[in-house]
Amino acid sequence: MRVVGEIPHPDCKITLFAWNNRYLIKFEQGFLEQTFKIHEYDVTSEADLQALVDETFIHETLTRFEAMGASLRNRLNAIG
């Protein structure tokens, strides 16, 4: 797996990878992570990959992190 870039953001870490004929967009926030896999033929360049990760995409991902965190907390409370 090769790191092809990072996108700075104050609320999460965003790393772009190339691996196995795919690009991966990995978001990390605390103990949670989300990874999006894109076939290398679906974008024409690594620059297109960075353009894909716009503010709307990031906002949607951060909203999903909130839901993931709530889900995990609820399950942990249910067993504890």
Tens of pLDDT, residues 30-80: 999 999 999 999 999 888 998 999 999 999 999 999 999 999 999 999 997
Helix runs in the chain, H state only: 46-52, 55-79
Number of domains in the chain: 1
Mean per-residue pLDDT over the chain, rounded:
95
DSSP string, 10-55: SSSEEEEEEETTEEEEEEEETTEEEEEEEEGGGSSSHHHHHHHS-H
pLDDT for the residue numbered 80: 76
Query: Which structural domain range is residue 47 located in?
Result: 2-79
